[in-house]
Amino acid sequence: MTSEQDRGEARCNQVLDAAADCFRLRGFHGASMAELARAAGMSVGHIYHYFANKEAIISAIVERDLTEILDQLAALESEDDFLQALIREAGNDLENQACNRDDILQLEVLAEATRNPKVLDIVRSTDEVARTCLAGTIAKGRALRGLPPLSDLEARTEVIIALFEGITCRAVRNPTLPRDAMGVVLRKMVQSLLET
């Protein structure tokens, strides 16, 4: 990339980081473009140079999250036994995170998706990519272990995702979750779903 492309990407990320903070604090509708501009340290017009509207910003945030998920799965697939890597990381992720800023933003995006068909389309399309990639990783990991294909792979993939999304909601309701103990239980559940 040229230095101009690097600058443009850095500016886009600056807007996305500022917008994510504003959406967490004030919600999608409560955060104005003027507020986003102040948080990003640029003019509203400059933001519109990169993003057509708030929906485009939320779309870019969701796509950036998807890229992180796909990168994490690719990193796990680089390990010799990536079923074991998935199990290990499932527990580690829970033990290392509290109800964090990303959880709050995910809930805000989902809430907006219930009201806004364009955001709903974005959420559903990125979810389909993530689900497909996770299912593929599980299938490849089982094949490497010599385990038979799963006839219920889609259902198991959905259950694994639901476990993590449910924990996000639980962390809002109960910030004192017993995370270490839950990490042990979660590893056992994911192991059962992946290996049996």
Domain ranges of the chain: 1-51, 55-195
The pTM is what?
Answer: 0.85
The 3 state secondary structure assigned to 53-104 is CHHHHHHHHHHHHHHHHHHHHHHHHCCCCHHHHHHHHHHHHHHHCCCCHHHH
Q: Who's near 124: CB < 8 A, 6+ residues apart?
A: 113
Name which residue leads in pLDDT, 170 or 15: 15
Which CATH fold topology does 55-195 show?
Tetracycline Repressor; domain 2 (1.10.357)
Instruction: In whole angstroms, give the CA distance from residue 179 to residue 99.
Output: 11
Q: Tens of pLDDT along 62-101? A: 999 999 999 999 999 999 998 999 898 887 766 555 546 6
Instruction: In whole angstroms, give the CA distance from residue 59 to residue 146.
Output: 39
Q: Tens of pLDDT along 98-154? A: 546 677 888 999 999 999 999 999 999 999 999 999 999 999 999 999 999 999 999
Q: Tens of pLDDT along 9-60? A: 899 999 999 999 999 888 888 999 999 999 999 999 999 999 999 999 999 9
Which CATH fold topology does 1-51 show?
Arc Repressor Mutant, subunit A (1.10.10)
pLDDT of residue 31: 92
The token duo for 102 is 């990303």
Compute how many other C-beta atoms are within 10 angstroms of the C-beta atom of residue 60: 18
pLDDT of residue 169: 87
